[in-house]
Structure 1
């Protein structure tokens, strides 16, 4: 802000200096060049004893035509005289001189109603006429110049004023005061450096924070609440891929896996939460978790009596561990994971977990289909061939059909939740190749699909009335229609 004021100050001074300079040039020109008008220049520095007016040669002011000014600017033609006290300016845009009535003239002559006589009167000299110039200056400068209708000055007076302005522009005192004012608003650089050094001492990296949290969790003197707090803080940090890898390198992953075997259900829930966040979309950490025995411990928690809140976090960890990791999926099948999920699906009171369970199964089915379809469009390389081989070892659909999932999944269609119905329909379509016969032999499934078809046809019409052509209910109706068509196929 101070810098802006300084710049504005010098801009104002410069604009005024240019104005006076041009003003003086015109006055000098008026003194040396004969003009067709009755204007003349008074010599000297304001000595009224030498105030005799020089008339232009060969012209008698008594014979000049008098121009009657008004309160608005008018063009002054050659050979016209103006009354004393009038304002005259040279418009550099048009090259013409312009005149208007001065304030004093208006008061003196404006009320007589007879105009001005051209006999017996002395007409204006440069001492009684003020000029205004119109330039393409900034608005603030141009307005200032256009309103300069104060007292008249001689050429020598203007030169002296211009000299003083130039001297004032280089005044070192004002500059130093401005600089001191700016410096007073800021702190010395050395002081800032000291503050930054002190601040750096207080900043901890994520690794340092994680190490402190692990020490707090592993400390035998820490209370259960303190350990739970440490795990929740860790869960926030391990969402970042690098932090999850650092957790492994610091030995924290094994501490978290071991906590799944603890007796306190809050620690089990928090440990499963940390594990699921750490392995999510992080292949290297997924490998470490499987090799550390995490999958076995998670399935054990699902198979034993635990609160629903704990099993929700355990399902989250299982889903994160299996996603895009065919080795873990194969290991999951060998450990009887599908059977454990089947039992949990049918457990009374665990209805809230059903949609989570079929989501895990659906993701595993779709992953294998997608990797096979992509393999048909790409030039196979060694890594892709290895992934195809690993997914080839995951035979999930036959296990699902064998363990009754062709019958279990349709039960979700009875739910009033649209989201549950959508996920059930997608899973049913994903299992169609393996469960087609069982679907056709299930009368309750046929009835449910017929009822859903009618219901969503009405909901789609409602969506269309509201201007939604491709709404959510339309997607579900398309799934229902697809199921009906595929079931009718031989």
Structure 2
């Protein structure tokens, strides 16, 4: 149809319009009309071509043939994928390879550029003979991936996974063997230790052994002291200190305070101080076991200074953060015992420690009151216990206002710092006494001048908040309160 339209258009272009020819117009009159008509027919022809039906479209015979060939090859490949491939047996000469034939591994394959056929020949005669033997045994050859069927690929993937699992299992076994080589089982170690007469003990077993050694009548003084020294190391741990209660070890150590040997008293108090520290359960058991009375007796009697240091350490650990023990301390006359202790000559070191203890006890109660106000809880059990500790009135009655003020004359800066803190804590109770104490006023004025000079040196060295400036600030604050 379109070929006919093209031919008609060619005739019109060559001979002119038949209509114009029949009208008999002269050639000079026909030229413009012919051109207009030709343009209109060309437009119609273009429109027809752009809207032609695909069924009547012009086709290329070569293109149709190529598409048909591709469809046939695709169909052939799909058919080959579902069947077992035929193994090609190459030689040392180039041979054409037919579709559907598999090539053994190690063969040379080339594409003939003129014919488009694939050609194959052997690479190595020995390798070919080995592959041929494998074929005769019924084994599949290791051929190129594009010649496998889908089932072959699935089987290969399954074998690959199985091989990976086996490899992983081998690595795990090797790692386990290495661990066994580096670390031995506990049973073997115990056996070796038994042969060497070495016993593996827990902390509990060690503490039981040490208590037995200390409590044995056959142990020498050196063995008892060594047992207490080792025991102090273990009871620093809270759990171990509580375990000491489970087999009666704590009471054995408390009873050691009654011994006649000063060293036994000293190291027994050393163990108790470590066990009491921040351990309420042990503190309660110690009060019930009579530890407080025994400690106060040692402080009130003639004992070496080293013994009293360790006993004072145990007393401080027992009283801190334990209001019930503080109540018992006041009832047993603890303030009188401490007053006698610090007034003895040569006990200045203990005096500073006693003042520090009293400062801690006073501030504990103050902090408990402040915490109750902040939390709007005015009746917790611990606060009620602190309110039953009338420490400040007892300090004033026992003359601690004057004792503390006199300690300010100590030469050490650290001791002065502790005394100034305690004076400030006692200010609510001892304010009138401080104002009437002229010696305290002179001492504070002297210290003010001394620390002004030392603070000035700190400022020259570039220290804006030095140690001596803090001490000077404490003195100035106390003087301001006493005016």
With the shorter chain as reference, the TM-score category is 0.5 to 0.7
Superposition map of 1:75-90 within 5 A: none
Counterpart of 1:327?
A: 324
1:484 to 453, 469, 479: 479
1:449 to 419, 444, 454: 444
1:369 aligned to 2:337?
Answer: no
Counterpart of 1:397?
A: 392
Deviations 1:55-90 (CA, angstroms, capped at 9, x unpaired): xxxxxxxxxxxxxxxxxxxxxxxxxxxxxxxxxxxx
Counterpart of 1:409?
A: 404
Deviation at 1:440, TM superposition (A): 0.9
Superposition map of 1:207-356 within 5 A: 207-356=204-353
Superposition map of 1:94-113 within 5 A: none
**Normalised by the size of structure 2, how large is the TM-score?**
0.62
Deviations 1:20-79 (CA, angstroms, capped at 9, x unpaired): xxxxxxxx99x999xxxxxxxxxxxxxxxxxxxxxxxxxxxxxxxxxxxxxxxxxxxxxx
Q: CA 1:260 to 1:484, structure 2 compared with 1: closer, same or farther past 3 Å?
A: same
1:461 aligned to 2:440?
Answer: no
Deviations 1:313-350 (CA, angstroms, capped at 9, x unpaired): 01001100000111100100010000110111111121
Deviation at 1:192, TM superposition (A): 5.2
Counterpart of 2:467?
A: 472
Contact kept in structure 1, 2:273 and 2:318, CA below 8 Å:
yes
Deviation at 1:203, TM superposition (A): 2.2
Contact kept in structure 1, 2:241 and 2:282, CA below 8 Å:
yes
Q: CA 1:192 to 1:404, structure 2 compared with 1: closer, same or farther past 3 Å?
A: closer
Contact kept in structure 1, 2:190 and 2:200, CA below 8 Å:
no
SS at match of 1:222: coil
Counterpart of 1:108?
A: none
Q: CA 1:409 to 1:186, structure 2 compared with 1: closer, same or farther past 3 Å?
A: closer
Counterpart of 1:5?
A: none
1:430 to 425, 429, 453: 425
SS at match of 1:361: helix
Deviation at 1:269, TM superposition (A): 0.4
Q: Which moved more, 1:410-419 or 1:197-206?
A: 197-206
Q: Which has the larger radius of gyration?
A: 2
| Counterpart Cα distance in 2 of 1:190 and 1:431 | 63
Q: How many residues align?
A: 335
- 5+ residue gaps in structure 1? 1-27, 34-177
| Counterpart Cα distance in 2 of 1:182 and 1:211 | 41
Q: CA 1:189 to 1:302, structure 2 compared with 1: closer, same or farther past 3 Å?
A: closer
Deviation at 1:187, TM superposition (A): 6.0
1:387 aligned to 2:402?
Answer: no
| Counterpart Cα distance in 2 of 1:404 and 1:281 | 30
Deviations 1:328-377 (CA, angstroms, capped at 9, x unpaired): 00100010000110111111121221101111111111101010011001
Higher helix residue share: 2
Deviation at 1:260, TM superposition (A): 0.6
Deviations 1:158-184 (CA, angstroms, capped at 9, x unpaired): xxxxxxxxxxxxxxxxxxxx99x9999
SS at match of 1:260: helix
Higher relative contact order (CA 8 A, sep 6+): 1
| Counterpart Cα distance in 2 of 1:197 and 1:319 | 43
| Counterpart Cα distance in 2 of 1:294 and 1:457 | 46
| Counterpart Cα distance in 1 of 2:472 and 2:183 | 71
Q: RMSD of aligned C-alpha atoms?
A: 3.8
Q: CA 1:453 to 1:223, structure 2 compared with 1: closer, same or farther past 3 Å?
A: same
Q: CA 1:193 to 1:227, structure 2 compared with 1: closer, same or farther past 3 Å?
A: closer
| Counterpart Cα distance in 1 of 2:183 and 2:231 | 38
**Normalised by the size of structure 1, how large is the TM-score?**
0.61
Q: Which moved more, 1:209-218 or 1:464-473?
A: 464-473
| Counterpart Cα distance in 1 of 2:343 and 2:236 | 33
| Counterpart Cα distance in 2 of 1:378 and 1:185 | 59
| Counterpart Cα distance in 2 of 1:369 and 1:193 | 54
SS at match of 2:389: coil
